[in-house]
Amino acid sequence: MAVKETAQKKKSTLHHGNDWYKLDLSAIVYPTLQRRDFSSVYRLSLLLREEVEPDTLQKAVDMALPRFPTYKASIRKGVFWRYLEPNNRPGPFVQPDIKNPCMPMPFKANNRYLIRFYYYGNRISLEAHHSLGDGTGGMCVLLTVAATYLRLKGYEIENGGFVKDIHSAPEEGELEDAYMKYANAKVRPPRPSEKAYHVRGTKEPFYTLNIVDGIMSASEVMAVAKKYNATITEYLNAVLLYALLQKQEAEWHLRLKPVAIAMPVNLRRFFPSNTLRNFITMIYPSVDPRLGEYTFEEIVVHVHNYMRYYINEKLLRGDITTNAATQSHPLIRIVPLFLKDFVVSRFYAAVQDQHSSAGLTNMGVMKVPESMKSHIERFDICMGQPFSRRTNCAIISFEDVLTINFASSIIEADVERYFFRKLVKDGIHVKIESNREREE
pLDDT in tens, 26-36: 898 899 888 88
pLDDT above 80: residue 336: no
* pLDDT of residue 53 exceeding 90: yes
- Alpha-carbon Rg for the chain, nearest whole angstrom, is 22
Output 4 or 38, whichever has higher pLDDT.
38
Predicted local distance difference test score (pLDDT) of residue 357: 94
Query: If you average pLDDT over residues 45-57, what whole number do you get?
Result: 98
Inform me whether the pLDDT recorded for 141 exceeds 60.
yes
pLDDT at 9 over 60: no
Confidence band for 139, pLDDT divided at 50, 70 and 90:
very high
- Which CATH number is associated with domain 210-362+383-434? 3.30.559.30
Report whether 375 contacts 150 (CB < 8 A). yes
pLDDT of residue 34: 86
Band (337; pLDDT cuts 50, 70, 90): confident
Compute the distance between CA of residue 43 and CA of residue 117 in angstroms, rounded to an integer.
10
Percentage with pLDDT > 90 across the chain: 72
Identify which has the larger pLDDT, 330 or 209. Answer: 209
Q: Residue 333: which residues within 8 A CB-CB, separation 6 or more?
A: 80, 327
Q: Which residues pair with 280 in a beta bridge?
A: 266
Q: How far apart are CA 342 and CA 34, in angstroms?
A: 11
Note if the bond before 69 is cis, omega within 30 degrees: no
Where in the chain are the domains? 19-168, 210-362+383-434
Judge whether 197 and 402 are in contact, CB under 8 Å. Answer: no
**pLDDT for res 74:** 96
Where residue 352 falls among pLDDT bands split at 50, 70, 90?
low
d(CA 424, CA 287) in angstroms, rounded, equals: 23
Least confident of 107-111, 247-251, 344-348: 344-348
Tell me if 262 sits within 8 A of 282, measured CB to CB. Answer: yes
What does the pLDDT look like over 170-226, one tens digit per residue? Answer: 998 999 999 989 988 888 877 777 899 999 889 888 888 999 999 999 999 999 999
The whole-number pLDDT of residue 350 equals 64
Q: Are 235 and 224 in contact (CB under 8 A)?
A: yes
User: How many angstroms separate the CA atoms of 403 and 383, rounded?
Assistant: 13
Encode 314-336 in three state secondary structure.
HHHHHHHHHHHHHHHCHHHHCCC
CA pair distance 420, 404, nearest whole angstrom: 10
**The pLDDT of residue 334:** 64
Identify any residues that bridge with 361 across adjacent strands, giving them in sequence order. 394
pLDDT at 157 over 60: yes
Distance CA 189, CA 321 (A): 8
SS (H, E, C) 217-285: EHHHHHHHHHHCCCCHHHHHHHHHHHHHHHHHHHCCCCCCCCEEEEEEEEHHHCCCCCCCCCCEEEECC
Average pLDDT score, the chain = 90
CA distance 28 to 439: 42
Quote the pLDDT of residue 232.
Answer: 97
Alpha carbons 207 and 228: distance in angstroms, whole number: 40
| Alpha-helical regions (H) of 98-170 | 135-152
Residues 21/84, Cβ–Cβ less than 8 Å: yes
Alpha carbon distance 173, 180 (integer Å): 13
Which is more confidently placed, 301 or 252? 301
Number of H helices, E strands in the chain: 13, 16
263 falls in which pLDDT band (50, 70, 90)? very high
Question: Above 70 in pLDDT, residue 330?
Answer: no
237 closest CA partner among 217, 264, 219: 264
Task: Give the whole-number percent of the chain exceeding pLDDT 70.
Answer: 91
Residue 362 has what pLDDT?
96
**Which of 151, 160, 164, 139 is CA-nearest to residue 46?**
139
Task: Quickly state the pLDDT bin for 329 (edges 50, 70, 90).
Answer: low
**Domain 19-168: CATH superfamily, name plus number:** Chloramphenicol acetyltransferase-like domain (3.30.559.10)
